[in-house]
Amino acid sequence: MTDNRALVQTFIESLDQRDWNTWRELMSEDVVYEVPQSRERIRGRDRYEQFNREYPGNWNLVAKVIISDEDNGVVWFDWLIDSKSEGDAMAFFEFDNGRIATITDFWPEPFDPPTGREHLTERW
């Protein structure tokens, strides 16, 4: 359990640092990466590394919360462009034999509060 937590933490830190050698060793060769919001899937560590190497912009990722158990993990992180926070995102993981077997990424976008609940909410 502790190992899986460290796996997730190293994943996000080495990705942030573009430390590709450390990063790719955390994953199975046949890792599957999915983005449900766009229904995109990438199969395999080499393609997934290329995807991240080619991802445009001066981006950084800073973990806010990491939770893991034997089978699953999550990191809720802040993502930044040119050191400015762009919002929250989260990646869920499945583990297999001490490596990351699947990653499912979510990128929630800002939205205006629906009307009809102003009597219960405050804004920040």
CA–CA distance, 83 with 95 (Å, rounded to integer) = 31
Per CB under 8 A, the segment of 13-21, 22-30, 63-71 that binds its own copies is 63-71
CA–CA distance, 52 with 61 (Å, rounded to integer) = 12
Residue from 3, 25, 57, 65 in contact with its own copies (CB under 8 A): 65
18 binds its own copies (CB under 8 A): no
CA–CA distance, 117 with 70 (Å, rounded to integer) = 39
Per CB under 8 A, the segment of 9-17, 18-26, 65-73 that binds its own copies is 65-73
Q: Cα dist. 76→21, 44, 46, 114, 120 in Å? A: 23, 23, 24, 24, 26
CB of 91 to its own copies, least distance (A): 11
CA–CA distance, 96 with 60 (Å, rounded to integer) = 27
Residue number with CB closer to its own copies (29 or 113): 113
- Could you say which residues in the range 24-43 bind its own copies, by CB under 8 A? 35-43
Q: How many residues bind its own copies (CB under 8 A)?
A: 43
77 binds its own copies (CB under 8 A): no
70 CB-near residues (< 8 Å, 6+ apart): 1, 4, 95
Rule CB under 8 A: which residues touch its own copies?
35-43, 47-48, 50-51, 54, 56, 65, 67-69, 72-74, 76, 87-88, 90, 92, 106-114, 116-117, 120-124
